[in-house]
Amino acid sequence: MSAHSHAFPPAAFHAIEWQHQSLLLLDQRALPHEHRMNEYNTAAEVADAIRSMVVRGAPAIGIAAAYGYALDALAGRDLQQAYQVLAESRPTAVNLFWALERMAGLNTEAPHALVAEARRIHEEDILANQMMGQYGASLLHNDSMIYTHCNTGALATGGHGTALGVIRSGFADGKVSQVYAGETRPWLQGARLTAWELMQDNIPVSLVCDGAAAQLFRREKIDWVIVGADRIAANGDVANKIGTYSLAVLAKHHGINVMVAAPTSTFDLSLPGGDDIPIEQRPAAEVTHLNGQPIAPPGCDAINPSFDVTPAGLIDVIATEKGLIMQPDTDSIALLFAR
């Protein structure tokens, strides 16, 4: 792996680039202060990048894994091993397994075919984001005030974004007056990434401590909580960044609508409900430390579930590239997939 940096981020960025038969990933751990592209040439290196959060966000993880698989094909390496090492990188985002299945399902070791498939996965995701952005934005009224969580933008996807794609599309339609971005402890994707993306697009954004959401919902007229998803079960239960479930409960209490924006590659219809979704447990040090500095007493125990499950009953709508699923449940989801 190698890296090159710019002192200031360019206005337009790509989180994932395929260049001269290698994979470039924007190192999201360094944002917003440093714009560094790292170069990867093996599936094992890409798996490390996914595990260590260089690239994150469900669709982006899937796209990176597809390119990682293609990298090992280019080098003539064992593709079963490539599949295995990538599949072990992070457990919750089903887009990872979906993308690997698509690559392995081609039943070929031909590098050009596998690179082309990875590129298709990448391009299709951008299109899907634009479609779901329009579907989701069609539900917003003028002057909408929106609360979002984690980062679901161009950084987390092939481009445009899922929840942030809906916000971008809604803003372009003149319907969004204010976005509140929850900071998203412990990785601070909201503060470091979402605020950065929205500010570059001149979309009004205020950063909010996660714990301030309840007071904000009580005092301000928030119209929508809009979030992404890492895996959606057949009954519409949604695994997403830890803290999403609390926001959905709070939204219900305050009469605020909840929208989940996700491509169909984020659905796992093999799981009947959310209790079956594997939840990633990340190192305690991510909670006890900030930027490598301890913020808790030495030896302090911590739990660090990276995702939670929001029951379908708390979700008003799921926006996908195929259309909107109102009041998601097993039947409405099956209906969308039957189309």
Binding site for ligand MRU (CB under 6 A): 56-59, 93, 150, 152, 156-157, 162, 189, 228-230, 240-241, 306
The CB-of-297 to ligand MRU minimum distance in angstroms stands at 26
The CB-of-280 to ligand MRU minimum distance in angstroms stands at 8
Q: What are phi and psi of 21, to 5 degrees?
A: 60, 25
- Contact between 281 and 305 under an 8 Å Cβ cutoff? The reply is yes
Alpha-carbon distances of 278 from 65, 71, 244, rounded to whole Å: 19, 28, 16
The residue number with the shortest CB distance to ligand MRU is: 228
Rounded to whole angstroms, the Cα distance separating 37 from 39 reads 7
The CB-of-227 to ligand MRU minimum distance in angstroms stands at 6
Query: Is the Cβ of residue 61 or residue 82 nearer to ligand MRU in the bound state?
Result: 61
Query: Is the Cβ of residue 257 or residue 306 nearer to ligand MRU in the bound state?
Result: 306
Query: Is the Cβ of residue 79 or residue 319 nearer to ligand MRU in the bound state?
Result: 319
The CB-of-231 to ligand MRU minimum distance in angstroms stands at 9
Query: Is the Cβ of residue 79 or residue 232 nearer to ligand MRU in the bound state?
Result: 232
Rounded to whole angstroms, the Cα distance separating 194 from 72 reads 32
Kindly report the three-state secondary structure assignment for every residue of 99-144. Answer: HHHHHHCCCCCCHHHHHHHHHHHHHHHHHHHHHHHHHHHCCCCCCE
Query: Could you list the active site residues?
Result: 230
From 138, 95, 128, select the one nearest 239 (Cα to Cα): 95
